Chain A
Amino acid sequence: MILRLLGGAVHSGESFARGLANLRGRPCRLAILLFLAAPALFADAPGVYAITGGTVHPVSGPAIENGVVIIRGGLIEAVGKNDMPIPLDATNIDAKGAHVYPGLIDAQTSLGFAAPAPRRGFGGGGGGGAARRQTEETAEPTPDSLAIRNARISDDDADARRAIGVTTIITAPAAGIFNGQSVALNLGSGAIESRVIKSPAAMQVSFNPRPAWTYPDSLMGVISYIRQTLMDAQQHTAARAIYERNPSGLKRPDENPSLEALQPVLGRTLPVVFIADSEEMIRRVQRIAAEFNINYIISGAREAYAMSGDLKNVPVLVSVRWPVAPSDKDDQQDQPLRLIRFRQLAPTSPASLAKSGATFALVSGAGKTGDFLPGIRKAIKSGLSDDDALRATTLSPARIFGIDRQLGTLDKGKIANVVVSDKPIFDEKSKVTHVFVDGREIRLPKDEKKTAEAAISTSPIDGTWNVTVRASQGNVALSVTLRNEDGKLAGTYSGEIGSGDVRGGSFADGTFEFTISASAQKGAEASDWVFHGTLSGDSMNGNVSTTLGTFEFSGSKSK
């Protein structure tokens, strides 16, 4: 309400800051305004919170049952057992039965940047014109491009990440070869400048050939291009140094911001993130890095399982966007065994890196937000411990990018990026209930997860239905789980009449049909019940033909 008084602009951090500056200029009115504005200012400002009763996972130490996390002024004030004093001014967040984590860090994204234009292939087959237009719109980044300047992160994108517990991202464009300098960014509210953890976080380099007929348009060309650029940067340094010592009689070297931007790379103060997925690609990176003596990080690395022992001395960001199988049976058979092995072994990469003692993080890479947690779960299923998975999404990425003094654990003095989840966060059915970024609670969009799941499900009939059949002998309740497979219905049923698979099902235009085997009592002979019905939203109704007669039934989708 008071927010309204100050005008909607308060929401915008930038305007907010400007407002404060104005206030400073008029001290006489400051007190009055502050008085008026105080509730508004601090309603959204980092407050004081006590997250109590949950299992606290500090990452820096063992989990604390029935633990407490105190947040104040955007920072973590204390972490401990439930016997610690709770500040009186703290808003209590009851996390009983829930789990409390440092906010997850997704250390490889291109959030906030347009997807790269599809590469124009040789011969320009297929819409060269469209590809060209897109290329023009998205100018290729250069070493001096700063992600902090160009990232445009929408609220929806930020919400989607926060809803799965990600509070910090490292982002840079995916397009081009030198993708520019990435930024580590909190996914809080406010101006981007207020959310930066580190910029530049790293220099990012991808092996993306340019469109045909533009150098470099092949992988080998890209490698030469990278080598030449780094050589030019070396030469630039040398030339500048000689010139600056004594310019007399020397031709002035050209100014070059791109090469200038590479000086910290050559000086080993700024690491280079190389995007490299396969073992061979990683080894190519290792050769380049050795040739130019640069600090580097491998990102992608889904074939790390084949070489984890050789990755002990380099940080790795493993993309959990795991390869998938084709849906068609013929296609599956046609695929090389080599790729099937890759597909099945790729998710073991994190486990094998963990085993070899390598430093690694799990990242979403080029994957969609919705793939991040399932991807981590798959890595866990493939041998990674929950603890290692957690470390690989909190402390490890923080360490890799040198932001571990601020982030990555629940420890006193660190930035209060905190996530509460109703179950262990990597559990299939976990749901993030509270997210704090920079000590502010972020209100999660409602049922984000459900909406995402609904989007995946292709048919309105998919799901579990509580069905009641109004038989002459009385109501019969059963639960039917249905799934639409190209117009055919499959699924299972259970209830007092028995349980089993649904047969002969079909679904089209809101009308469905399926058959179950029902027995009046345990051990009695089963007979077919054939359901015919129509669907409307979350309810269904229709008739059941049985040997005893035809009855009405109705059902509703179970939540």
Chain B
Amino acid sequence: MSKTYVIPSVARNLGGWGTRYEHGRTTRAPAPSLTLGMTLLLLALPAFAQERVILIKNATILTITNGRIENGSVLIRGSKIAAVGKDIAAPANAQVIDATGKFVSPGIVDTHSHTAVEGSVNEISLPNTGMVRIADVLTADDISAYRQLAGGTTTALVLHGSANSIGGQSQIVKWKWGHPIAEWPVQGAPRTIKFALGENPKSANFRPPEGTPRQYPATRMGVEEVIRQSFTDARDYMAAWDEYDAKKKRNETAIPPRRDLLMETMADILRGNIDVHSHCYRSDEILMLLNLGDELGFKVRELQHVLEGYKVAREIAAHGTGGGTFIDWWGFKAEAYDATPYNVALMVKNGVLTSVNSDSDELARHLNHDAAKSMKYGGLTEDEALRLNTINPATQLRLEKRIGSIEAGKDADLVIWTGHPLSVYSRVDTTMIEGEILFDRAKDLQQRDALKREKDERLKKEADEAKKDKGGKEKKDA
């Protein structure tokens, strides 16, 4: 049974254990029919994984933080980058990837994704749904994750939707296609929450069905009120617990306040335990949120979309807030009419920590395009452009010590490109996460026939069975 849908050659050929990335879907080999040999192999795997050594050589290495290395090498041990440089000799046990003529970049980091979520990405029912968690509904079945690997994207912030002023808690993941979903969230990554301003939380472009009342708010004034009220409530909630704790300390009898998942979330934002990533478009609402944060005591880690960020880039920079944006989407709604592709350049030049992100399963497959356009629109340098895809979004996610550049000690999340990633003519050959190759174009091409064959065989088997069932019935009837 398992044999039919684990493609063993993959693991062997790529030297990556458990590398199961056939694009049909995650494989989840059912344990019962594993042979003894396979079981032993599996038992040996953790040790084997430690031993993984890969050398990528003869490539142009785009380190991001230390410039470009022509004819360079990257040595990977286990899940980490062990060394980067010009002349690294291949250790005896290393798998060597000759990347002559190719470019190596860090995996792309996308700070705005909705991929791999089961069910709706919006809990739309309330103006504040901070109690819900994307982490609860991640799924390993979304083919988009694989397709994004095929475009060089390795890490993403999977966000709740933008239908409410305060949305749900989001989750930072790596696209570990083929692994169980429990392994996708980045361990130790900060907790995050989605806020949203403007047309979406005020339901400007959609309405509940007839008979369901419209939901507050309907204006940007109301959006501010919702956020202000929520944090005010949270302060009361915290005070109630403080009172209770004090009583307990004094050994007084007291009934504990109700534990409220929403208020716990709000309190955790105020305690600085949850990073705010806020959807926004217009400059006025951006300033509103930053100022409200100053007043109520929360910080905004990253402004999402931030299409008018260029109008108030200085203020954003002064708050130490980042901006993640589309390079050139505009005009799709009124609040996007003043969007300009020069937004990125103006934000960067004003000192805003800026990234380009997707909000789209499709765009997430070629975020390098968006970074590249920043050279045309506002004249960013190659280095500045590359940072929009890598170290900048990594920093926005507070993961800059682990991902976003090619440095010894960092996670081996690497992409091998056929050419410079900022060229339209380049495509991804290989993408690895933590040293494990999860996308390889040659393998992908090889597997297509096998997958097609499997599908045809399975359908044929079904058709035959159906025919037999039918025939059998008739015989018995006779």
In Å, the complex CA distance between A251 and B244 comes to: 13
Those of B270-285 within 8 Å (CB) of chain A: none
Q: Which of A214, A227, A246, A463 contacts B477 (CB 8 A)?
A: A463
Please state if A483 and B470 are interface contacts (CB–CB under 8 Å): yes
- Interface-located stretch among B27-35, B69-77, B235-243, B384-392: B27-35
Q: Would A280 and B118 be within 8 Å (CB), given that A336-B25, A352-B30, A481-B477 are in contact?
A: yes
Q: Which residues of A contact B32 (CB under 8 A)?
A: 308-309, 352, 355-356
Interface residues of B in 9-37 (CB under 8 A from A): 24-25, 28, 30-32
Query: Which of these, B125, B259, B261, contacts A213 with CB under 8 Å?
Result: B125
The answer to whether A306 and B28 have CB atoms under 8 Å apart is yes
State which residues 100-137 of A face B: CB under 8 Å: 120, 122-124, 128-129, 132
B151 → A minimal CB distance (Å): 20
Q: Is the CB of B477 within 8 A of A333?
A: no
Q: What is the distance, in angstroms, from B260's C-beta to the closest C-beta of chain A?
A: 7
- Beyond A217-B120, A223-B137, A337-B24, whether A212 also contacts B477 by CB under 8 A is no
- With A129-B211, A246-B253 known as contacts, the answer to whether A209 contacts B120 (CB < 8 A) is yes
Chain B 118-131, CB within 8 Å of chain A: the 1/0 string?
11111111100101
Known interface pairs A128-B211, A223-B136; A492-B474 also in contact (CB < 8 Å): yes
Determine if B125 and A337 form an interchain contact, defined as CB atoms under 8 angstroms apart. Answer: no
Q: Does B215 contact A (CB under 8 A)?
A: yes
Q: Least Cβ distance of B308 to chain A in Å?
A: 28
B120 CB contacts on chain A under 8 angstroms: 122, 209, 217-220
Contact of B141 with A213 in the complex, beta carbons under 8 Å: no
A71, chain B: closest CB distance, angstroms: 33
Please encode chain B, from 39 to 74, with 1 for each CB lying within 8 Å of some chain A CB and 0 for all others.
000000000000000000000000000000000000
B255: chain A residues at CB < 8 Å are 238-239, 242-243, 250-251, 253
A218 in contact with B122 (CB, 8 Å): yes
B258 touches A558 (CB 8 A): no
- B1 CB-CB contact with A under 8 Å: yes
B-facing mask of A129-158, CB < 8 A → 1, else 0?
A: 100100000000000000000000000000
The reply to whether A481 and B462 contact each other, CB–CB distance below 8 Å, is: no
Binary CB contact string for chain A from 525 to 559 against chain B (1 if under 8 A, 0 otherwise): 00000000000000000000000000000000010
B124 touching A217, Cβ below 8 Å? yes
Instruction: Give the contacting residue for A218; candidates B31, B123, B258; CB below 8 A.
Output: B123
Q: Which of these, A220, A338, A481, contacts B141 with CB under 8 Å?
A: A338
Stretch binding the partner chain, chosen from B309-317, B344-352, B420-428, B452-460:
B452-460
Most B CB contacts (10 A, CB to CB) among A218, A344, A355 go to: A218
A305 within 8 A of B: yes
Complex Cα distance, B474 from A558, in Å, reads 11
Cα–Cα, bound, A537→B239 (Å): 81
Interface-located stretch among B202-210, B394-402, B434-442: B202-210
Nearest Cβ in chain B — how far from A529, in angstroms? 18
Partner of A216 from B125, B210, B477 at Cβ < 8 Å: B125
Beyond A220-B137, A243-B255, whether A120 also contacts B209 by CB under 8 A is yes
Q: Which residues of B contact A264 (CB under 8 A)?
A: none
Whether, in the assembled complex, B93 has its beta carbon less than 8 Å from a beta carbon of chain A, the answer is: no
Please, how many angstroms separate the alpha-carbon atoms of A246 and B461 in the complex? 71
In the assembled complex, the CB of A491 is this many whole angstroms from the nearest CB of chain B, namely 7
Say yes or no: is A215 at the interface (Cβ < 8 Å to chain B): yes
Q: Which residue of B lies closest to A236 (CB)?
A: B258
Docked-complex contact B131 and A224, CB < 8 angstroms: yes
A522 at the interface (CB under 8 A from B): no
Docked-complex contact B123 and A217, CB < 8 angstroms: yes
A337-B253 in contact (CB<8A): no
**Does chain B have a CB within 8 A of A82?**
no
A34 in the interface, Cβ–Cβ < 8 Å?
no
Report B185 CB to chain A, min CB distance, Å: 13
Given A120-B209, A223-B137, A239-B255: A481 and B474 within 8 A (CB)?
yes
Q: Does B8 contact A (CB under 8 A)?
A: no
Tell me whether A388 is interfacial, beta carbon within 8 Å.
Answer: no
Q: Which of B129, B141, B254, B476 contacts A221 (CB 8 A)?
A: B129
**In the complex, what's the smallest C-beta–C-beta distance from A118 to chain B, in angstroms?**
13
Inter-chain contacts of B136 with A (CB < 8 A): 219-220, 223-224, 284
* B95-120 Cβ-contact flags toward A at 8 Å (1 or 0): 00000000000000000000001111
B307 within 8 A of A: no
Once bound together, how far apart are the Cα atoms of A219 and B134, in whole Å? Answer: 10
| Given contact pairs A332-B459, A481-B478, A124 touches B258 in the complex (Cβ within 8 A) | no
Chain B nearest CB, measured from A206 CB (Å) = 13
**Chain B residues whose C-beta falls within 8 Å of the C-beta of A336 in the assembled complex:** 24-25, 143
Whether, in the assembled complex, B139 has its beta carbon less than 8 Å from a beta carbon of chain A, the answer is: yes
Point out the residues of chain A lying under 8 angstroms from B137, CB to CB: 218-220, 223, 284
Contacts of A253 in B (CB 8 A): 255
Interface residues of A in 187-215 (CB under 8 A from B): 209-215
Q: Which among A212, A338, A464 is the interface contact of B478 at CB below 8 angstroms? A: A464
Q: Mark A279-319, 1 if CB is under 8 A from B, else 0.
A: 11001100000000000000000000111110000000000
Tell me if A471 counts as interface (CB < 8 A to partner B): no
Decide if A421 is an interface residue (CB 8 Å cutoff): no
Tell me the smallest distance from the CB of B102 to a CB of chain A, in Å. 31
Q: How far is the CA of A65 from the CA of B126 in the complex (A)?
A: 65
Given the known interface contacts A217-B120, A224-B132, A332-B459, the answer about A558 and B477 at a Cβ–Cβ threshold of 8 Å is yes
The residue of chain A having its C-beta at the shortest distance from the C-beta of B139 within the complex is: A280
Is B181 located at the chain interface by the 8 A CB criterion?
yes
B458 contact from A122, A227, A341, Cβ within 8 A: A341
A494 within 8 A of B: yes
Contact B139 A209 (CB under 8 A): no
When chains A and B are docked, how far (Å) is the Cα of A519 from the Cα of B269?
88
CA gap between A217 and B126 in the complex, in Å: 10
Contact A123 B206, CB 8 Å, known A220-B134, A231-B261, A492-B474 = yes
Alpha-carbon separation in the docked complex, A305 to B117 (Å): 23
A216 touches B459 (CB 8 A): no
Complex CA–CA separation, A231 to B24 (angstroms) = 39
Residues of B with C-beta under 8 A to A120 = 209
Which B residues lie within 8 Å of A12 (CB)? none
Which residues of B lie under 8 Å from residue A306 when comparing CB positions?
Answer: 28, 30
Q: Which residues of A have CB within 8 Å of B258?
A: 232, 235
B28 and A279: CB pair below 8 A?
yes
Which residues of A lie under 8 Å from residue B259 when comparing CB positions? Answer: 231, 235
Instruction: Give every chain A residue within 8 A of B132 (Cβ-Cβ).
Output: 216, 218, 220-221, 223-224
- Residues in chain A near residue B131, CB distance under 8 A: 224, 228
Chain B residues 179 to 202 lying within 8 A of chain A, measured CB to CB, are: 181-182
CB closest residue in chain B, given A354: B32
Provided the pairs A213-B124, A220-B132, A337-B451 are in contact, do residues A238 and B256 lie with their beta carbons within 8 angstroms? yes
Contact of B299 with A by CB under 8 A: no
Contact residues in B for A123 (Cβ distance below 8 Å): 206-207, 209
Contact B5 A308 (CB under 8 A): no
- Can you list 30 A-B pairs, Cβ within 8 angstroms, ordered by A? A124-B208, A129-B210, A132-B211, A209-B119, A213-B125, A217-B123, A218-B121, A218-B122, A218-B132, A219-B118, A219-B119, A220-B117, A220-B133, A221-B125, A224-B131, A224-B133, A224-B261, A228-B131, A228-B260, A325-B459, A336-B25, A337-B25, A337-B454, A337-B458, A338-B25, A340-B458, A341-B5, A464-B477, A481-B474, A558-B477
Known contacts A212-B125, A216-B125; 9 additional CB pairs below 8 A are A215-B129, A220-B133, A279-B28, A283-B181, A308-B31, A341-B25, A344-B462, A345-B30, A429-B476
User: Which residues from chain A sit less than 8 Å from chain B, CB to CB?
Assistant: 120, 122-124, 128-129, 132, 209-221, 223-224, 227-228, 231-232, 235, 238-239, 242-243, 245-246, 249-251, 253, 279-280, 283-284, 305-309, 325, 332-333, 336-338, 340-341, 343-345, 348, 352, 355-356, 428-429, 463-464, 479, 481, 483, 491-492, 494, 558
Residues of B within 8 A of A (CB): 1, 4-5, 24-25, 28, 30-32, 117-126, 129, 131-134, 136-137, 139-141, 143, 160, 168, 181-182, 206-212, 215, 253-256, 258-261, 451, 454-455, 458-459, 461-462, 470-472, 474, 476-478
